[in-house]
A and B are shown apart, each in its own frame.
Chain A
Amino acid sequence: MPKPQKLFEPTIVRGAIASAFGKLDPRVQVHNPVMFVVGIGSVLVTLRFLVNLLGGGGPGGISFTGQIALWLWFTVLFANFAEAMAEGRGKAQADELRKTRRDTTAQRLRDDGSTETVPASQLRAGDQVLVDAGEVIPGDGEVVEGIASVDESAITGESAPVIRESGGDRSAVTGGTKVLSDWIRVRITADPGRSFLDKMIALVEGAERQKTPNEIALSILLSVLTIIFLIAVVTLQPFAVYSGREADVVVLIALLVCLIPTTIGALLSAIGIAGMDRMVQHNVLAMSGRAVEAAGDVNTLLLDKTGTITLGNREATELIPLPGVEVDELVDAAQLSSLSDETPEGRSIVVLAKERYGLRGRELLERRAQFVPFTAQTRMSGADVDGRQVRKGAADAVVAWVKERGGTVPPELDPIVEGIARGGGTPLVVADGARPLGVVHLKDIVKGGMRDRFEQLRNMGIRTVMITGDNPLTAAAIASESGVDDFLAQATPERKMELIRAEQSGGKLIAMTGDGTNDAPALAQADVGVAMNTGTVAAKEAGNMVDLDSNPTKLIEIVEIGKQLLITRGSLTTFSIANDVAKYFAIIPALFAATYPALDKLNVLRLETPRSAVLSAVIFNALIIVALIPLALRGVRFRPVSATALLRRNLLIYGLGGIVLPFVGIKLIDLFINLVRLV
């Protein structure tokens, strides 16, 4: 899996420089109206430079016109470079991915059950293939028969093998992963070139990049600004003529390039590509940029309790004996009933017995014990040892079992059981034959740091809803312990769907994670549906993102990346427009220095000469693009604070800063220009 790279990886930089020139093609440039205008300006100034050069001088002179032309070309190239850098970083990630897609062969099953060996590239959706231990799975698909351990490290970076089996929620396999043991029959679900890997490569390379809704809206605004400035500058020539002297066209073009929002125009597509990259670096595969953007808008997160809010399994935390029962007796029975119970709950009882009560594990086999597994009918498990029948299970089931055997249940049992349930725990009653001994307290363990995460989300205006199959009492207790805003107890796929629809009808955007086939409708309905890579094909196809790490908590990072994308665009737009103030004060007095020397009063920076003033502004305008490439690629730092605080902060940095910085920058460049006598 691609890992975060250095920002300016030398090989990527070299490639980006080359492709910056390649992107000068007008057919590429026309997609970015702002930079297209700069390109036309560069051509015009270059022509004027050539005319001046051949004619041995002319309006603007040779050196000045030449330098302006040079820096205008740099402006275009820097913009191309920014985009190429973002694409290059994506491409580097794609190459990493591509390495995993070795040219494999597949054993395709014929209708008669025999197999034929074909190149993986010839497989079509619907074909069935047989994959043996040691072979690479030739394409995305679904296990239809068999069970195998699979090494998915090529995709997820996770080295521990995972189990893939037919039926259920662990049936999906990804092309490029390797079967380690056993064999599986796989039904291919993607045509060549349409697999996850292919999609991922195309996305990170920017090949399938489509502008997202907010990007389109912003592009429109930038075009409007460009048109306004175009008119302001074009009409300046008649006004100059009116005032007595034609303005130098080279300076007019320089003014235009400085005014139109080149900073954001140059970095806009780089920001978008980099946002996609950040998703991939978090091992999230977004099916479209639109989905990434929607993540920033999410109002409600639906989080599955198990695995997201709590650790996957319940753990025994306490053993409570009934009156008249020694603790040791209860511990002994609880451990006996759990020794052969391989469920996590059972194991946790054994661990608790050992760590808290000092009772070591025993081998049941030595004692000719017989294990009684849990079934949905009995709702209890246990062991028959030396004539004893030890059981643990759901309170009502064990109570009924005890009464069946003529035992009596002390009245103290009920309050203990209820108390545990009210506290969000699960009570397991332990009995030895007809004699109830006590209660095991099983508890959901809330993951560390969740309360803080939810608090941050609340500050960002995002509500969290916990989804659980537990009863309302248990759900409420865990909800309050973990700090989520709301919960849906006794959740079924239908109720989940209802909840999503209800929230959406109020205009809210919903994000959720899911892995099972029964999650698919909800994943499709949600605005951001993140399918776990371990999930079923149906779930992956229904969602618009796939988390390769299958970590449901990642939803929170996904939201942050979405927001960061928008914030970066908005901030650089503000910065770009704010820059214009200083540029006006640099260029307007210079432009009319000959007509109205009195306008020099507006030259508040006291720039040396009109020519150095214009050149300084143009150089600043070009260099600021390069200076901001790291910001565009990394994104403006996101803080989980309220919108008002965020706006105040960003307005201060990019608005006010955008006004002040160019005054300083242009002055410094002007000092340098005059120091080395460039003009």
Chain B
Amino acid sequence: MLIPDLLQPLVLLLAVALLTPPLGAFIARVMSGQRTFLHPVLGPVERLVYRGLRLQPDREQAWTGYARSLLVFSLASVAGLYLLQRLQGLLPVNPDGFGAVDPYLALNTAVSFVTNTNWQNYLGEQTMSHLTQMAGLAVQNFVSAGVGLAVAIALIRGITRRRAETIGNFWVDLTRGVLFVLLPLSVLVASLLLARGVVQNFHGLREVATVAGAAQTLPGGPVASQEAIKELGTNGGGFYNANSAHPYENPDPITDFLEMLALLVIPFALTATYGKLVGSRRQGWAVFAAMAIIWAGMVTTAVVAEQAGNPIVARAGVDQAYAAGANAQSGGNMEGKETRFGIGASGSWAASTTGTSTGAVNSFHDSYTAIGGLATTAHMLLGEVSPGGVGTGLYGMLVFVLLAVFIAGLMVGRTPEWLGKKVQAREVKLAGLAILVMPTVVLLLTAVAAVVTAGLSSRLNLGPHGLTEILYAFASQTNNNGSAFAGLTGNTPFFNLTGSFAMWLGRYLPIVAVLAIAGSLAAKEKVPAGPGTFPTHTPLFVGLLVGVVLIVGALTFFPVLALGPIVEQLLQATGQVF
């Protein structure tokens, strides 16, 4: 069964690779202000937005101004979303009459959606009014992805410009990204999902009589529209608590494939945008390759581990092997997975959602085998760069490129150069800061939660698995992923507050560092490349880049992973449970 299990992710990767050049080129055109086939329709809207904001689109900002605008926008978004949740009881489009959201939860949710995390400490269909979902959460799904895209484009401008003081205009980048990239793609994907049966209505909870005569409560809602941007914007916040495991969000294997494609396509396509804007497609493909290699490794690990099954169950003498014919069974660990997807589609989804900072799930990660769970946790702990979220993945990977260039540059005996820009103390300092934030926040908060009662009492499991649950929660939030291991009870003041803190720092400290790098690079002179500069588009460099990402991640998190999933697997082999 392993071959078909792995065939699906292979087809998925091929589809992504096919879509990458055209979509990447389109995004490059849009973000550099060139006309596209959408301009006859959306051009007037864009101008209207600028007029409404009293904005001169050609007035560019220095990196400091860019960062200030971005932070002001994000803070205002958090405030707005918080108020919307607190006041939803008084506002319309609330068929089920939900009241104000608890203050801790409202803060966590506001930060969560503004930071593109979509960590959900609530049950969507039992907490949020349709107005909050549409005017609050869905809007943030668009703009938070737009912010990530803007930062990535600003960084690319920093690389390509020479002796420039500005790196673009935040408001223009945000507007263009949302209007020309995210909105049209969402309309397209939502239509396809609708066609496959994803619901889209304004109903509340409805009692229906089933065929068997029993009564059942069925939720409604504008799901398809939110589903599309949930994946495309690497957001991941489900309309329903069950997220993409819910049949109304993700009815069949075709929607499942489509949604996976949607969550991978923009982060991967941005590598082509990068290649096009720096004037060398091969640079883009090199980054694509590094991302794809890590992604494929994680998919394989997850699928193989799940198909291998649970060692405890194996000790009980249960046959977990795949079988066809009369005694047909999928084999492997099907606990927590939808039978309509199976291990291949669940494992690929799990690796894709954790690698893209999306966080949407179609299976229950807590129920994965220890090694399957390790793959999902580790994929986030690598820093969400394979391929990472919209924009965030690219700029995150480019920070690693910068570090790889620095080490490699020294090894060939020159002041390191990256696409003609010298990498010096300032860039190394900022890249170091950008990389330092995530491990620091994840490890410190996990350490605190692992010893205080407020942290320990939220666990579903004891022992190593419980530690993994806590680690996963902070890995997910700090990396702005948002997926949950789901064993942990997150809706407590302790986790709501620490989580908000993790999401905020994990998002904005690296963004400021990246924008500072962009500003610093933009101001530099461009050095022409020669045989003395080593190329950053060769298989050798791809290998080095993958190595740097894996080594940094592994060296940082090996101890805690050893005490979590690794020892769990080893103990399960001996039959020990907690």
Is chain B a partner of chain A in the same complex?
yes
Contact B555 A567 (CB under 8 A): no
State the CA gap A602–B532 with chains docked (Å): 42
Contact A239 B563 (CB under 8 A): yes
Q: How far is the CB of B417 from chain A (nearest CB, A)?
A: 9
B282, CB-defined interface residue at 8 Å: no
Contact A220 B432 (CB under 8 A): yes
Contact A232 B559 (CB under 8 A): yes
Residues of A within 8 A of B195 (CB): none
Chain A count of residues within 8 A CB distance of the other chain: 73
List A196-247 residues whose CB lies under 8 Å from chain B. 213-214, 216-218, 220-221, 223-224, 227-229, 231-243
Contact A638 B559 (CB under 8 A): no
A411, CB-defined interface residue at 8 Å: no
List B428-442 residues whose CB lies under 8 Å from chain A. 428-429, 432-433, 435-436, 439-440
State the CA gap A242–B560 with chains docked (Å): 11
Residues of B within 8 A of A62 (CB): none
Tell me the nearest residue of chain A to B428, going by C-beta. A217
Query: Given contacts A221-B432, A573-B410, A574-B411, is CB(A461)–CB(B533) below 8 Å?
Result: yes
State the CA gap A566–B412 with chains docked (Å): 8
B538, CB-defined interface residue at 8 Å: yes
A458, CB-defined interface residue at 8 Å: yes
State the CA gap A242–B459 with chains docked (Å): 12
Contact B424 A592 (CB under 8 A): no
Residues of A within 8 A of B450 (CB): 238-239, 241-242
B415, CB-defined interface residue at 8 Å: yes
Contact B424 A232 (CB under 8 A): no
List A615-651 residues whose CB lies under 8 Å from chain B. 638, 642-644, 646-648, 650-651
B319, CB-defined interface residue at 8 Å: no
Query: Given contacts A461-B532, A584-B555, is CB(A236)–CB(B560) below 8 Å?
Result: yes
State the CA gap A563–B532 with chains docked (Å): 11
Query: Given contacts A461-B533, A508-B527, is CB(A651)–CB(B446) below 8 Å?
Result: no
Contact B411 A651 (CB under 8 A): yes
Q: How far is the CB of A279 from chain B (nearest CB, A)?
A: 15
Contact B562 A507 (CB under 8 A): no
Contact B567 A235 (CB under 8 A): no
Tell me the nearest residue of chain B to A659, going by C-beta. B551
- Selected from B415, B423, B424, B525, the residue in CB contact (under 8 A) with A566 is B415
Contact B446 A235 (CB under 8 A): yes
Contact A647 B412 (CB under 8 A): yes
- Selected from B414, B538, B547, B552, the residue in CB contact (under 8 A) with A297 is B414
A308, CB-defined interface residue at 8 Å: no
A569, CB-defined interface residue at 8 Å: yes
Residues of A within 8 A of B538 (CB): 644
State the CA gap A241–B540 with chains docked (Å): 42
B406, CB-defined interface residue at 8 Å: yes
A562, CB-defined interface residue at 8 Å: yes
List B420-462 residues whose CB lies under 8 Å from chain A. 420, 423-425, 427-429, 432-433, 435-436, 439-440, 443-444, 446-448, 450-451, 456
Contact B566 A602 (CB under 8 A): yes
Residues of A within 8 A of B432 (CB): 220-221, 223-224
- Size band of the interface chain B makes with A: 35 or more
Q: Which stretch in A518-526, A535-543, A593-601 binds the other chain?
A: A593-601
Query: Given contacts A221-B432, A242-B467, is CB(A235)–CB(B411) below 8 Å?
Result: no
Residues of A within 8 A of B367 (CB): none
Q: How many A-B residue pairs have CB under 8 A?
A: 208
Tell me the nearest residue of chain B to A649, going by C-beta. B411
B528, CB-defined interface residue at 8 Å: yes
Tell me the nearest residue of chain B to A504, going by C-beta. B525
- Selected from B408, B429, B444, B528, the residue in CB contact (under 8 A) with A508 is B528
B530, CB-defined interface residue at 8 Å: yes
State the CA gap A563–B409 with chains docked (Å): 10
Contact B423 A647 (CB under 8 A): no
State the CA gap A592–B564 with chains docked (Å): 12
State the CA gap A311–B527 with chains docked (Å): 34
Query: Given contacts A574-B411, A647-B540, is CB(A241)–CB(B451) below 8 Å?
Result: yes
Interface centre among B413, B415, B429, B467 (most CB of A within 10 A): B413
State the CA gap A227–B562 with chains docked (Å): 20
Query: Given contacts A217-B423, A642-B531, A647-B408, is CB(A596)–CB(B567) below 8 Å?
Result: yes
State the CA gap A77–B576 with chains docked (Å): 46
A259, CB-defined interface residue at 8 Å: yes
Contact A214 B439 (CB under 8 A): no
B499, CB-defined interface residue at 8 Å: no
State the CA gap A574–B560 with chains docked (Å): 24
List B444-498 residues whose CB lies under 8 Å from chain A. 444, 446-448, 450-451, 456, 464, 467
A148, CB-defined interface residue at 8 Å: no
Query: Given contacts A221-B406, A588-B562, is CB(A235)–CB(B447) below 8 Å?
Result: yes
B558, CB-defined interface residue at 8 Å: yes
Q: How far is the CB of B203 from chain A (nearest CB, A)?
A: 46
List B533-551 residues whose CB lies under 8 Å from chain A. 533-535, 538, 540, 544, 547, 551
Residues of A within 8 A of B567 (CB): 592, 596, 598-599
Contact A214 B410 (CB under 8 A): yes
Interface string of A577-613 (1 = CB under 8 A from B): 1101100100010001000101101100000000000
Tell me the nearest residue of chain A to B548, going by C-beta. A577
B557, CB-defined interface residue at 8 Å: yes
Tell me the nearest residue of chain B to A463, going by C-beta. B530
Contact B447 A599 (CB under 8 A): no
Q: How far is the CB of B545 from chain A (nearest CB, A)?
A: 12
Tell me the nearest residue of chain B to A644, going by C-beta. B534
A564, CB-defined interface residue at 8 Å: yes
Contact B574 A598 (CB under 8 A): yes
Contact A259 B555 (CB under 8 A): yes
Residues of A within 8 A of B246 (CB): none
Tell me the nearest residue of chain B to A259, going by C-beta. B555
- Selected from A218, A224, A574, A596, the residue in CB contact (under 8 A) with B436 is A224
Query: Given contacts A602-B566, A651-B544, is CB(A571)–CB(B411) below 8 Å?
Result: yes
Contact A562 B413 (CB under 8 A): yes
Contact B410 A643 (CB under 8 A): no
Contact A213 B413 (CB under 8 A): no
A87, CB-defined interface residue at 8 Å: no
B183, CB-defined interface residue at 8 Å: no
A446, CB-defined interface residue at 8 Å: no
State the CA gap A92–B424 with chains docked (Å): 34
A63, CB-defined interface residue at 8 Å: no
Tell me the nearest residue of chain A to B557, going by C-beta. A232
- Selected from B412, B557, B571, B574, the residue in CB contact (under 8 A) with A646 is B412
Contact B467 A235 (CB under 8 A): no
Contact B527 A296 (CB under 8 A): no
Contact A242 B436 (CB under 8 A): no
Interface centre among A241, A297, A573 (most CB of B within 10 A): A297
Residues of B within 8 A of A237 (CB): 447
State the CA gap A643–B531 with chains docked (Å): 6
State the CA gap A461–B407 with chains docked (Å): 19
Interface string of A111-143 (1 = CB under 8 A from B): 000000000000000000000000000000000
Tell me the nearest residue of chain B to A646, going by C-beta. B412
Residues of B within 8 A of A423 (CB): none
B71, CB-defined interface residue at 8 Å: no
Query: Given contacts A588-B559, A647-B540, is CB(A216)–CB(B425) below 8 Å?
Result: yes
State the CA gap A647–B429 with chains docked (Å): 23
Interface centre among B412, B423, B444 (most CB of A within 10 A): B412
State the CA gap A91–B379 with chains docked (Å): 52
Contact B533 A643 (CB under 8 A): yes
Q: Which 5 A-B pairs have the closest CB atoms?
A: A461-B532, A570-B410, A563-B413, A224-B432, A643-B534
Could you name 16 residue pairs across A and B whose Cβ atoms are closer than 8 Å? Answer: A214-B424, A217-B406, A217-B428, A221-B406, A227-B436, A232-B556, A237-B447, A239-B467, A299-B530, A462-B532, A506-B528, A507-B420, A565-B413, A602-B566, A643-B535, A646-B413
Further 16 A-B residue pairs, CB within 8 A, beyond A218-B410, A227-B440, A596-B567: A214-B415, A232-B556, A232-B557, A232-B560, A233-B559, A238-B447, A238-B451, A299-B527, A458-B531, A507-B527, A566-B415, A570-B407, A588-B558, A592-B563, A643-B531, A648-B540
